[in-house]
Amino acid sequence: MTDLRDSIRDAAPGLLLSATIALAVRFVSDQLGGPAMLYALLFGMAFNFLTEDERFARGIRFASRNILRIGVALLGLRITTTEVMDLGWPVVALIIVSVIATILVGGLIGRAFGLKGDQSVLSAGAVAICGASAALAISSVLPPHKDHERNTILTVAGVTALSTVAMVVYPVFVTYLQYDNATAGVFLGATIHDVAQVVGAGYIISDQTGEISTLVKLIRVACLVPVVIIISLITHRSRAESPDRRPLLPWFLVAFVVLVIVNSMGWVPANAQSLLTPVSSWCLLTAVAALGVKTSLKALAEVGPAPIGVMVIQTLLLAVIVIGGIIYIG
């Protein structure tokens, strides 16, 4: 009991710092608009000097790892199997194929531009699935190395910025293509990276487009589990001899699947769901703020333009794949 109390006391300063940044970011985002995740990164970077203070270090590490995983697990409360079936198998198949193709081809594009394998997979997975949340989840099962956190924060920043651009540009684009409301919803949900930006873009067009785009997006979120499991299986071998060996299946993915099943069975009371869904968003925002605190602008500046360029190409690739799929299924 004493050890637990000491651990909480040691983590409190850094955890409170991350939570305070998240609160400030949420206020600014609500008042001025804009992507909260990107704000969290930028606000957090302003406090990078505190990483040298051991009083804050443990709490910042706790927020960027444990709080992150809680947030990813709670995403399972947003999805039910009934909603997936309502879209129809052709659309579900389009989503799955676009995710797989973007990760595989996008990963090869990253390698062609000189990125390391893990960074290529990280950016491709973030673009293909659900932006910052996917980047954080995939990063948690990749083998750690000296550039690991830098690559993660760069991917989160890049994919969040691109998602914001897509939220503005894609509604104009689907109007130009003369898509009906349902087709526009499929395109927006299957191509824009972050959930919040999908919702924003969809409801710009119509309520029907907003509802369909959000549902399509949540199916992409569900793809996070098998993708992270596969990546974990692949990287598990490289960690087999490591003394810091991680579990083959991370606990937060198990929790995600359990919550999807429980929610699909209707066992989650509406009050509990309305309470826990925002908790997921707050956990992810706090984790991103902590990652921002751990990141220095100098380290990011040393990376160069290649990773951002790769994410732009991966984003365009995803859009082309989805347009082709829409044409194919009619």
116-174 confidence digits (pLDDT tens): 888 999 999 999 998 888 898 898 888 887 788 888 888 988 888 888 789 889 999 99
Mean per-residue pLDDT, 34-51: 84
- Contact between 110 and 127 under an 8 Å Cβ cutoff? The reply is no
Give whole-number Cα distances, 313 to 1, 128, 208, 216, in Å: 52, 12, 30, 22
- SS3 letters across the chain: CHHHHHHHHHHHHHHHHHHHHHHHHHHHHHHHCCCHHHHHHHHHHCCHHHHHCHHHHHHHHHHHHHHHHHHHHHHHHHCCHHHHHHHCHHHHHHHHHHHHHHHHHHHHHHHHCCCCHHHHHHHHHHHHCCCHHHHHHHHCCCCCCCCHHHHHHHHHHHHHHHHHHHHHHHHHHHHHCCCCHHHHHHHHHHHCCCHHHHHHHHHHHCHHHHHHHHHHHHHHHHCHHHHHHHHHHHHHHHCCCCCCCCCCCCHHHHHHHHHHHHHHCCCCCHHHHHHHHHHHHHHHHHHHHHHHHCCCHHHHHCCCCHHHHHHHHHHHHHHHHHHHHHHHHC
pLDDT at position 243: 45
Poorest-pLDDT segment among 55-69, 179-193, 245-259, 271-285: 245-259
Name which of 297, 296, 295, 284 is nearest 22 in CA terms: 284
Residue 288 has pLDDT above 60, yes or no: yes
Mean pLDDT of 199-227: 86
Mean pLDDT for the chain overall: 85
Interval 274-279 mean pLDDT: 88
> Residue 301 above 70 pLDDT?
no
Residue 188 pLDDT class (50, 70, 90 cuts)? very high
Out of 284-288, 304-308, 317-321, the most confident range is: 317-321
Structure tokens at 123: 């950016």
Burial class (CB in 10 A: 0-12, 13-18, 19+), 310: buried
Q: Sign (positive/negative) of CA torsion 56, 146, 115, 251?
A: negative
Tokens standing for 101? 């193709």
* Residue 222: closest CA among 99, 122, 66, 111: 99
Structure confidence at residue 22 as a pLDDT band (50, 70, 90) = very high
